[in-house]
Amino acid sequence: MELSNDPELQPFLFGLFLFMYLVTMLGNLLIILAVTSDPHLHTPMYFFLSNLSLVDLGFVSTMVPKMIVDIQTHSIVISYVGCLTQMSFFILFACMDDMLLTVMAYDRFVAICHPLHYQVIMNPCLCCIFILVSFSVSLLESQLHNFIVLQFTCFKDVEISNFFCDPSLLLNLACSETFTNNIVMYFIGAIFGGIPISGILFSYIRIISSILRVPSSGGKHKAFSTCGSHLSVVCLFYGTGLGAYLSSAASHSPRKGVVASVGYTVVTPMLNPFIYSLRNRDIKRALWRLLRRTA
């Protein structure tokens, strides 16, 4: 589905989303370059941050280039194989985002609640295991969704009420009875989505209870500032995603759901680098050193 049917608005939308895509790519690439080039940032927190930026690059590249091309060529067609491929990568990168935010919450929990054992607990081996497990779980969820959708082979000349192949919309287009598959898909979503959210909530409950026991106000402020950026990204990611699905469920207008989907598919990956760089002195220093070396 097109974002707008107004022909005069198409050049503006093309320029807007091309600009947002380039800003997203540049911002996340700068975060990755800053972390990899600065030895001071070779810590678990920034290791996970660079992986989050890498996942955001893949996430936004799954949908936005296709949308930009569609706006320019006035074509809103995607092949069956292309649709399944886009859906697979969308679920893979979305789940990776979810898992990495959970791992980063655990990292902040260990840093604040067990600071003396932080280096021992968050060792390089464990960090790599977290990344591999996150990728494996995300790949498993992606293939499970694919397996369910592939049972329906009668998709032809149908309209998807979004600018990308949204998994929740594909089942509604199936020709056969989908009640059982809907139950299975929602169960999978509850498992793969509920566990990471529970992990984040558990980590922050422990973090807040630990911070409240700090006697000095300066110590409390320092502890809160170390997890402020991560908490902002978590609220942005889940807030825009939940808002998109609630608006599409409550509204009878598919176009409102399309506009809401832009929030978590385009805006969130673009804002993540700014949230981390503007609120983090180490990242800003590393970026300045990188820019000076480049110049």
Number of domains, the chain: 1
- Which CATH number fits the domain that encloses residue 260? 1.20.1070.10
Q: What is the pLDDT of residues 131-188, one digit of tens each?
A: 999 999 999 888 888 877 777 656 667 788 778 888 777 776 665 555 666 676 677 7
Residue 2 lies in a domain: no
More confident residue, 53 or 156: 53
Burial tier of 60 (Cβ tally within 10 Å: 0-12, 13-18, 19+): buried
Q: Percentage of the chain with pLDDT > 90?
A: 23
Residue 1 lies in a domain: no
- State the pTM of this model: 0.87
Residue 46 lies in a domain: yes
d(CA 54, CA 65): 17
Residue 199 lies in a domain: yes
What is residue 130's predicted lDDT score, i.e. its pLDDT?
A: 95
CA dihedral defined by 91, 96, 102, 105, rounded to 10 degrees? -140
Residue 45 lies in a domain: yes
Domain around 250? 7-294
d(CA 80, CA 153): 9
d(CA 289, CA 159): 49
Q: For helices 10-37 and 281-294, give the axis angle rounded to 10 degrees.
A: 90
Lowest mean pLDDT among 54-58, 120-124, 153-157, 291-295: 153-157
Closest C-alpha to 94, from 41, 153, 29, 164: 164
Residue 143 lies in a domain: yes
Residue 89 lies in a domain: yes
Question: Does residue 199 have a pLDDT over 80?
Answer: yes
What is residue 150's predicted lDDT score, i.e. its pLDDT?
A: 74
Question: What residue type is 53 in one-letter code?
Answer: S
Residue 145 lies in a domain: yes
Instruction: Give the CA radius of gyration of the chain.
Output: 21
Residue 219 pLDDT level (bands cut at 50, 70, 90): low
